[in-house]
Each structure stands twice: as structure tokens, then as C-alpha cells.
Amino acid sequence: ISESRNGLFVDRMELNTEPGGEGKFTGGRGLRLEYRIRTNDGFLTAGYTRSRIKPWALEGGLEGSGNYVEVLKTDGSQEVYSFVSGLPVNTDDVIRIVTASGGGYGDPKERDAASVREDVKNGLLSAERAAEVYGITI
């Protein structure tokens, strides 16, 4: 419905897998959305807080990732925003919205190894990040 009403294609809608929010209990994952513009003479207005000051962690967890909007133009240029108003967008430009993952709770080294392996298996965490943050080699 959104695609037909708003002159855009939804190219991607998935969980945010950027580093952040690790802990004994991980912060909730944000989203990564990509919209491809289908028409000329459009504009983008968006605003997100928690771009510079990331979601807090507690009891030794790691802060979450930040919010941002990225515009990928057909000429190859890329621009990143926290707040933007009236930015011109045209056919085949891509608007990428990345929402924050929450902060982690507790020392990451105390996270259950099976949970870390499951996160890697599900693509939520890289094997390198698992070794770096959790001390678990996969």
C-alpha cells in the first residue's frame, strides 16, 4: 500500500546489525529500511534524536547504535543526516533509514555462549565482533 500511495519502492526492511548494544542481555535491535524513489521532484523531511548520544547501557553493557538517515543519490554521492528538511530526491535515489539498537545490560563476558553463537548464526553479530566483545571464538 505504501509503495502505491507514496511513489516509492521498499527495497529493504531488516534488523539493524551494526555493532552496539552488546551485554549479558543485548539491547533490542533497530531497523534498516531502504526506500527507492519512483518519481522526480520529491523531497525528504526526517528527524531522529539519539544520533550523537547513543542509547545508554547499564551495568557494564555497551551503548547502542545511533539513528541516522542516509541518502544515496544516483550520481554516486551519499549524505548522512540526523535532521533534514525539504531535501530534493529524484527517481532511483535511495533513502536509507537506520534506527538505533538499544543499549546492552550487564557485562558482555557474562552472556551465555549459546546465545552468542545463535546471534552469529542469525547474522546479528559477526564472528569477529563475538570474539572481540564476548571473548567467544566461533
93-135 per-position pLDDT tens digit: 999 999 999 999 999 999 999 999 999 999 999 999 999 999 9
| β-sheet bridge partners, residue 105 | 25, 58
Q: Are 70 and 42 in contact (CB under 8 A)?
A: no
Chain segment 20-40, per-residue pLDDT in tens:
999 999 999 999 999 999 999
DSSP 113: H
Q: Structural domain of residue 64, as residue ranges? A: 2-134
Query: Which pTM does this prediction carry?
Result: 0.88
Q: What's residue 49's pLDDT?
A: 86
For residue 28, give the 3-state DSSP assignment.
coil
Return d(Cα 58, Cα 18) in angstroms, integer: 19
The domain total for the chain is 1
Q: Are 31 and 97 in contact (CB under 8 A)?
A: yes
Listed in order, strand segments (DSSP E) in 7-74 are 8-15, 31-37, 42-47, 68-72
